[in-house]
A = this chain, B = another copy of it.
């Protein structure tokens, strides 16, 4: 495990317990068994660490959900699968999820708030795509309202999953929420969040990872992975981003390779967006 990862894992644990502000760099380095100076060899500042954590786990969550929504053929169970994926991802990264719920829109930098807002919009788009696919024209009036309902459901029930040590039946929960969402989608008539209102609210934010940033991330990932298939796939896709030469089928296949590895799902999602597949 690289030093960066070690620090991130130690920090994550402490942040989940105590929050960002209440956790000192000293504590993190002690918990990781390294010196304070070593921390600043891996991260320029505490803020950079927080930034990195948010990027890492938000992308993980988003790519988890996105993959399920994209790869699910029969729309019948899609809602159920969506909720399953979301809650499983929360459970898998429960430390980060705790931070995300607790510190959401706290007193962070402008930069961080904007970043979180961007990820939030990504999630909105995934949910919207899913709803449109299932219900189509049927929900043309209420689709934006439904996004907020779905996010409301996830938020409240996440509390249970994260902050109580009770064994929960995620299957029943997902089934229950799928039922509720379907009810709202089929019978809800009053519209509160019109398309206009939705866009007014989200106007100033645009999602964007520059190609340069992404290339850098790919390079870093190449050094991290052990599997040769993954390494090769990443290298080829990096080349493709610099100078397209491969056929679409090959590119899709390479991205699938990455999607099969939990460690590469996130970067797969980004490459996918960059190459427009």
Binding site for B on A (CB under 8 A): 17-19, 21-22, 101-107, 145, 148-149, 151-153, 155-157, 160, 163-164, 166, 169, 172-173, 175-177, 179-180, 183-184, 187-193, 197, 200-201
List 6 interface pairs A-B (beta carbons < 8 Å), by A numbering: A18-B107, A19-B107, A22-B107, A176-B188, A180-B188, A183-B183
Asked if residues B190 and A175 are in contact (CB atoms below 8 Å), the reply is: yes
Q: Is the interface of A mostly helix, strand, loop or mixed?
A: helix
Question: What is the bound-complex CA distance between A43 and B256, given in angstroms?
Answer: 61
Residues of B within 8 A of A197 (CB): 166
Asked if residues A179 and B189 are in contact (CB atoms below 8 Å), the reply is: yes
Residues of B within 8 A of A103 (CB): 106
Asked if residues B192 and A149 are in contact (CB atoms below 8 Å), the reply is: no
Residue of B nearest to A120 (CB): B159
Question: What is the bound-complex CA distance between A151 and B158, given in angstroms?
Answer: 13
Question: What is the bound-complex CA distance between A188 and B189, given in angstroms?
Answer: 17
Asked if residues B201 and A166 are in contact (CB atoms below 8 Å), the reply is: yes
Residues of B within 8 A of A172 (CB): 190-192
20 other A-B residue contacts (CB within 8 Å) besides A157-B192, A164-B201: A19-B107, A21-B107, A22-B107, A102-B106, A105-B163, A148-B160, A149-B153, A152-B156, A155-B155, A155-B156, A160-B193, A160-B201, A169-B192, A172-B192, A175-B190, A176-B190, A176-B191, A179-B188, A179-B190, A180-B188
Copies in the complex: 2
Residues of B within 8 A of A192 (CB): 157, 169, 172-173, 176-177
Asked if residues B106 and A19 are in contact (CB atoms below 8 Å), the reply is: yes
Residues of B within 8 A of A176 (CB): 145, 188, 190-192
Distance (whole angstroms) from the CB of A243 to the closest CB of chain B: 43
Question: What is the bound-complex CA distance between A105 and B145, given in angstroms?
Answer: 27
Distance (whole angstroms) from the CB of A201 to the closest CB of chain B: 5
